[in-house]
Chains A and B, each alone.
Chain A
Amino acid sequence: MTRLATHKVGAWLWVSDGQITIISGKVDIGQRISTALMLIVQEELTLNTALMSVAPVQTDRAPDEGITSGSKSIEDTGAVVRQAAATLRQAARALLPQNGALWALQNGQFCSPDGTQKIDILDLITKLDPQLPIDAAAAFLPRDYGAASPFMRDLDQMVRGRFCYLPDIDVPNMQHARLVRPPHSHARLGAIELQILAKMVEEKVQVVRDGSFLAVVSPDEWAVETAAKRVARACTWVSDKTLEIKDIFESLTENNAKKIRVIDGIPDPKAPLVALKDLPYRARFEKPYLAHGSLAPSAAFAHWSQMGLKLCSHSQGIYPLRASIAQSLGLALEQVQITHVPSSGCYGHNGADDAAMDAALIAKHCPNVPILLKWTRQDEQQWEPFGSAMVVELGMALDPDQKISDFHAQVYSDTHRGRPRPDGAQGGPARLLANRLRADPLAPYVPLLNMNPQGGMHRNIDPIYQIGQKIIVKNLVQDLPLRTSAVRCLGGGANMFAIESLMDEVARDQGVDPLAFRRAQLHDLRSLAVLDALKTELSTRPTPSGQMPGRGMAFGQYKNKMTRTAISVDIDLREDGQILLKDVIIVADAGRIIDRDGLAAQLEGGFLQGASWALYEEVSWSAQGLLSQDWDSYPVIRFDNIPEMKLVLLEPSDAPSVGAGEATPGPAIAAIANALFDATGLRLRRLPFRPDRVLKAALGD
């Protein structure tokens, strides 16, 4: 909200020709932020959404809002847009003839007390100075609970196949590009057979090379697709090193690490690294590397001309990306313009930024030719920055009243912060993949400890429960084999899986109902209300049935300050070790609800992503490269394992809206693990719970 004081209404809301345009620096990544912003303006101005649009996010037009991440858009941007809209309404009312305060506002029109006069709010707003400062005291309209009906911006275009995603860009004279990537990150391009290069010239396919960065370009997309494969076969790669294949969970706890205590969710360099004593309950949890696995492989559009470099990217942070690309190519900031164009959902920092740099580099070699670069599925699965593998070691002790007296945690992980950021120490160019391949390669960026509250691997490692004494240490582990960055929830997914599994374990060992056990460790009334609502919902359900049925629950509050979520999952275990998801209940409190349907979609979608991590997903590799390269070798959840889902949304009055996009994955994993225990008595602590692992655990090895 610091921006509020320095910003004018016109920076966020712009009225012309009877239309209101919302200008925001937050981008749509499948999370429906544009829809939510429109609904906020609808609430404050009582305007139909048909009279609104959301401006494309472009580096030279939109406010620099950094990166769209961390479920913060609703809290940050949503709050400013609401304040700006309320300011406009207040100022418009002041322009009313007389007794302005008595005029009613409905459907975008002010109506005089005697009902004889009507004035469009947009007509009044047009008369206002866009330089009007946002008034932090402008009051919001009282909540109209009946108002919002399900609405999703552009959905009508999507169901008709008319919505333009980045890979659909098609402009005159455009050429298509594909990459030829090395087999793994240590390999360097030795030679390319001359014959194939001659062939390419003959076929009018341009080969772009900068060190080990290699791409092919042609006006015909299919030609370029096949050319990339042929060129790949004609390349010799050399390497003095291969990928480390030692067990990743051993590497995580054995490699050198930067260690720091975390106090109340914040890393504290002054807190001493005390030795941890053995607590009665101890467990170690493991999460593999995860891929974002966006449905559309990353892509970018680039056009290099005298006017400078124009890019279209589906990056979550077009400003830092612009600075990083400008610096990489020796351009002035003003010479690079990036427009955000949506692609498929990204769930974090996927290949978008790297693809933009790749396309920029290709365009530099093909001046004046518009270039559309697409990564292939295999490029995406092998080269996107992954969510780090993690180890979480926990310890817990209870006092005689079954209250948690001690909690210890050691979390081990690579960085969750690999986005290009231009400022010196943060490493902009070094975090763009192409710069590690070019003739003068940059060394991989060595990450620093993330010191932010609830940042990176320590997100949600501090339990939300009342606990006597906590000792939490995070370990930023070095020299790990794969490149990592932000995936939905960062460390929160693994941490919530670990904490909520152990909570379950302790409760059952104590012979206490897991929900009641959690309840006893909480004071926060809203958390208690969430748990009680789950209990009420569960009381209406029969016990789960099936071959080997089980029910598990988990609770969490994202970043210990955002959406509170309680989840119950019923599963059935098949003889072949497959876990079938049956019935799911999600209770959530995300504060004031702006887009009820969008909130539900985020909670459901988050659950299914967590379930997919729990059951299927794992990046795998050999010394010679990635083994998970497509949807067969990197399986994910599909329609054949989608449970029945019931959502219960609590909305305490006057609670501010908080983000919910990352609230459910962590509790989802834990609830499934706990249901598996309920069904079998088996405690699986390594993700994913593949059938072979379940069977192995059942056989006792």
Chain B
Amino acid sequence: MRMALRVNGQTHQIDCADDTPLLYILRNHLKLKGTKLGCGLEQCGACAVLVGGKVQLSCAALAADFLGQEIVTIEGVEALPLGQKVQAAFLDQTAAQCGYCTSGLVVAVTGLLSQDPQADQAKIKDGLKGHLCRCGSHPRVLRAVQQVVAQS
């Protein structure tokens, strides 16, 4: 099918199979490789993007379900003032080891804090429990979130 997708503020015309998940469009058609494939099963959070400002896993949801909606990937996060703050906080707290989970987490934290700028630790932990980090960067990610909350 042919469809138009709004990604990072631009409209893209895309030709793809009906059942193509959003992630594959982002990575392969649009060459936005920052959104990661971790499981394809909506279990790990590596593929998180923002749709209409809310966190959305992209590995299994069909691209066709997001026509006309504003999709923001990790590459577009730095255009958001909050996104920049989150990225800066991840840098300050060196909130990554291998970094494979990082783009999903930066996106998720940006999404969570845009909904609830004063979210407390418990809320954040709950909000991030769909995101795996196998290197154990969690304490640093939580510190990064605290840093952003403290600034707002």
Using a CB–CB cutoff of 8 Å, the interface residues on chain A facing chain B are: 28-32, 150, 152, 154-156, 158-165, 167-168, 170, 220-223, 225-226, 293-297, 342-345, 347, 374, 376-377, 597-598, 601-602, 604-609, 630-632, 636-640, 642, 644-645
| B126 at the binding interface (Cβ < 8 Å) | yes
Beyond A607-B136, A640-B129, A642-B142, whether A632 also contacts B44 by CB under 8 A is no
26 pairs across A/B with beta carbons < 8 Å? A152-B94, A155-B90, A155-B91, A159-B91, A159-B106, A162-B75, A163-B99, A165-B100, A221-B27, A222-B17, A222-B21, A223-B17, A226-B19, A293-B134, A295-B46, A296-B36, A297-B37, A344-B98, A345-B135, A601-B97, A607-B136, A609-B134, A630-B43, A631-B132, A636-B134, A642-B125
Out of A160, A226, A602, A639, name the residue touching B125 (CB < 8 Å): A639
Chain B interface residue number, banded: 35 or more
Distance between A375 CB and nearest chain B CB, rounded to angstroms: 11
Contact B74 A632 (CB under 8 A): no
Distance between A669 CB and nearest chain B CB, rounded to angstroms: 14
Chain A's closest residue to B98 (CB) is: A30
The list of the 3 closest CB pairs from A to B, nearest first, reads A161-B34, A30-B98, A605-B136
Contact A161 B35 (CB under 8 A): yes
Chain A's closest residue to B20 (CB) is: A222
Contact B43 A639 (CB under 8 A): no
Chain B's closest residue to A633 (CB) is: B43
Beyond A150-B94, A631-B39, whether A347 also contacts B134 by CB under 8 A is yes
Contact B100 A295 (CB under 8 A): yes
Contact B136 A606 (CB under 8 A): yes
Distance between A373 CB and nearest chain B CB, rounded to angstroms: 13
Query: Besides the contacts A220-B17, A295-B44, A297-B38, what 10 more A-B pairs have beta carbons closer than 8 Å?
Result: A159-B87, A222-B17, A225-B24, A345-B134, A377-B40, A598-B94, A601-B137, A608-B138, A636-B134, A642-B138
Out of A295, A376, A602, A638, name the residue touching B40 (CB < 8 Å): A376
Complexed CA–CA distance, A638 and B133 (Å)? 8
Contact B33 A168 (CB under 8 A): yes
Among B16, B46, B101, B135, find the residue whose CB has the most chain A CB atoms closer than 10 A: B135
| Chain A residues in 8 Å Cβ range of B24 | 221-222, 225
| B70 at the binding interface (Cβ < 8 Å) | no
| B2 at the binding interface (Cβ < 8 Å) | no
Please encode chain B, from 89 to 107, with 1 for each CB lying within 8 Å of some chain A CB and 0 for all others: 0111011111111110010
Complexed CA–CA distance, A598 and B137 (Å)? 11
Contact A29 B33 (CB under 8 A): no
Contact A294 B134 (CB under 8 A): yes
Contact B44 A597 (CB under 8 A): no
Complexed CA–CA distance, A620 and B92 (Å)? 40
Chain A's closest residue to B59 (CB) is: A377
Contact A296 B38 (CB under 8 A): yes
Out of A31, A160, A602, A607, name the residue touching B87 (CB < 8 Å): A160
Distance between B137 CB and nearest chain A CB, rounded to angstroms: 7
Beyond A605-B137, A640-B125, whether A597 also contacts B37 by CB under 8 A is no
Contact B17 A160 (CB under 8 A): no
The dominant DSSP class at the B interface is loop
Distance between A299 CB and nearest chain B CB, rounded to angstroms: 9
Chain B's closest residue to A608 (CB) is: B136
Distance between B83 CB and nearest chain A CB, rounded to angstroms: 10
Among B36, B46, B106, find the residue whose CB has the most chain A CB atoms closer than 10 A: B36
Chain A's closest residue to B24 (CB) is: A222
| Chain B residues in 8 Å Cβ range of A165 | 36, 100
Complexed CA–CA distance, A296 and B45 (Å)? 11
Complexed CA–CA distance, A374 and B38 (Å)? 11
| B128 at the binding interface (Cβ < 8 Å) | yes
Within 8 A of A (CB), among B56-81: 73-75, 77-78
| Chain B residues in 8 Å Cβ range of A295 | 38, 44, 46, 98, 100-101, 132-134
| Chain A residues in 8 Å Cβ range of B33 | 161, 164, 168, 170
Complexed CA–CA distance, A28 and B100 (Å)? 13
Among A29, A159, A642, find the residue whose CB has the most chain B CB atoms closer than 10 A: A159
Complexed CA–CA distance, A156 and B99 (Å)? 10
Among B32, B37, B101, find the residue whose CB has the most chain A CB atoms closer than 10 A: B37
Contact A639 B129 (CB under 8 A): yes
Chain A's closest residue to B96 (CB) is: A158
Contact A345 B43 (CB under 8 A): no
Beyond A31-B97, A640-B126, whether A159 also contacts B139 by CB under 8 A is no
| Chain B residues in 8 Å Cβ range of A294 | 134
| Chain B residues in 8 Å Cβ range of A642 | 125, 138-139, 142
Beyond A167-B36, A601-B97, A642-B138, whether A158 also contacts B102 by CB under 8 A is yes
| Chain B residues in 8 Å Cβ range of A161 | 32-35, 73-75, 77, 103, 106
Contact A345 B129 (CB under 8 A): no
Distance between A315 CB and nearest chain B CB, rounded to angstroms: 15
| B54 at the binding interface (Cβ < 8 Å) | no
Beyond A158-B103, A630-B39, A640-B125, whether A222 also contacts B138 by CB under 8 A is no
Distance between B40 CB and nearest chain A CB, rounded to angstroms: 6
Distance between A220 CB and nearest chain B CB, rounded to angstroms: 8
Distance between B30 CB and nearest chain A CB, rounded to angstroms: 11
| B6 at the binding interface (Cβ < 8 Å) | no
Distance between B123 CB and nearest chain A CB, rounded to angstroms: 11
Among A161, A165, A374, A377, find the residue whose CB has the most chain B CB atoms closer than 10 A: A161
Chain B's closest residue to A151 (CB) is: B94
Within 8 A of A (CB), among B118-152: 124-126, 128-129, 131-142
Among A222, A226, A297, A639, find the residue whose CB has the most chain B CB atoms closer than 10 A: A639
Contact A638 B16 (CB under 8 A): no
Contact A597 B39 (CB under 8 A): no
| Chain A residues in 8 Å Cβ range of B106 | 159, 161
Contact B97 A345 (CB under 8 A): yes
Chain A's closest residue to B78 (CB) is: A160
